[in-house]
């Protein structure tokens, strides 16, 4: 991580994509993106060319109890202007606006654990913030390659 944390207030985000309910142990991310990417051009009214990976956790979850077996909803999506046209087999999601702590991860997808370990194990406990019960997400630009050691993605953590 080269950048320090930024606290940003966002407005509501409207998304269209695919979701899967599973745990990290199920290796859901790769499968989900393989299903989503070939259908990307079916989504109308895209706001930009970025991709979003979204995690929706049980509101009762305490992150100190998070394991690779914790079940959550994982999304592969893009932000859209509106939800008027949703391709068959895809779903819509609205992320409510609010305050997010934003971190930048540089490196391969396999190295993401170091960034998440820092966010939840070091930064959050030492900060004045608490986790909020809104979705967590990462934003990747259209040329993102998960195997590139110089890849960049931003982590958006809901805080209050």
pLDDT at 67: 78
For residue 65, is it within any domain? yes
Q: Report the number of distinct structural domains present in the chain.
A: 1
Which residues are paired to 15 by β-bridges? 79, 93
Tell me the two tokens of residue 114. Answer: 């170091």
Domain that holds residue 152: 6-158
pLDDT at 33: 92
pLDDT at 64 over 80: no
Q: What is the mean pLDDT of the chain?
A: 91
pLDDT at 3: 55
For residue 1, is it within any domain? no
Which residues are paired to 134 by β-bridges? none
Residue 35 main-chain phi, psi, to 5 deg: -75, -40
pLDDT at 62: 77
List the CATH number of the domain containing 96. 3.20.80.10
DSSP code, position 28: H
This model's pTM is above 0.95: no
pLDDT digits (tens, 9 = 90+) for 29-38: 788 999 999 9
């Amino acid at each position: 991580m080269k950048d320090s944390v930024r606290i940003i207030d966002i407005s509501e985000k409207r998304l269209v994509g695919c979701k899967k309910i599973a745990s990290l142990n199920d290796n859901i991310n790769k499968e989900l993106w393989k299903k989503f990417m070939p259908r990307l051009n079916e989504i109308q009214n895209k706001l930009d060319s970025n991709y979003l990976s979204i995690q929706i956790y049980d509101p009762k979850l305490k992150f100190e109890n998070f394991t690779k077996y914790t079940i959550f909803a994982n999304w592969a999506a893009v932000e859209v202007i509106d939800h008027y046209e949703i391709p068959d087999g895809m779903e819509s999601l609205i992320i409510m606006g609010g305050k997010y702590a934003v971190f930048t991860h540089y490196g391969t997808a396999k190295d993401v654990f170091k960034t998440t370990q820092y966010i939840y194990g070091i930064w959050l406990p030492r900060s004045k913030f608490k986790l909020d019960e809104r979705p967590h997400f990462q934003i990747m630009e259209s040329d993102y390659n998960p195997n590139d050691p110089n890849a960049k993605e931003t982590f958006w953590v809901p805080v209050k």
